[in-house]
Amino acid sequence: METFTAIFTQLGVDNSLVPQFVIILVVFIIAQFLFLGKLQDVIETREEKTVKLESSADETIEKVQRMQSEYKMKIEEANRAALKNSTDKKQKITQTYTEQYKQTEKEVNTFVDQSRHEFTKEVAGNKDQYLAEADALAQSLVQKIIQ
């Protein structure tokens, strides 16, 4: 204990230590009541709000990611539906024009066959007539040569 007394004496501690301690304690209690308590409330409120904002930011980010994935799914679905719709329309148009083409082709083939048949008949009919005329002309030529 003498060692402590010697150290305190060297530090300049005397009988005024107890009143100084009481004054500091009273000032601390008053500061706690007037300033430090309110400062502690402000610090706690600020921390609570920042932590809540951080958690609400995480929730908002999750919500945005969900909305983004839903948006992508809807866009892909719309693209698939549009592609299917256009493909179906293209197939219907192709089928319609293919049927029209085949019908027109049949008509053209029928017309060509009829024209060929008629031309063949005409050629056959004219052939007999020209051969008959050729015989008559040949006879006439022979007679002119003989004369």
3-class DSSP assignment, residue 13: coil
Highest mean pLDDT of the ranges 21-35, 44-58, 130-144: 21-35
At 121 the pLDDT is: 86
Whether the pTM exceeds 0.75: the reply is no
Q: Considering only CA atoms, which of 120, 116, 97 is closest in space to residue 108?
A: 116
pLDDT average, residue stretch 27-36: 88
At 8 the pLDDT is: 77
At 71 the pLDDT is: 96
**Does 14 have pLDDT greater than 80?**
no
Highest mean pLDDT of the ranges 25-39, 78-92, 115-129: 78-92
Distance CA 106, CA 111 (A): 9
Q: Give residue limits of the domains in the chain.
A: 21-111
Q: How far is CA 35 from the centre of its chain?
A: 59
Distance CA 64, CA 111 (A): 69
pLDDT average, residue stretch 115-121: 89
First to last CA, the chain: 182
Q: What is the DSSP string of 86-116?
A: HHHHHHHHHHHHHHHHHHHHHHHHHHHHHHH
At 106 the pLDDT is: 93
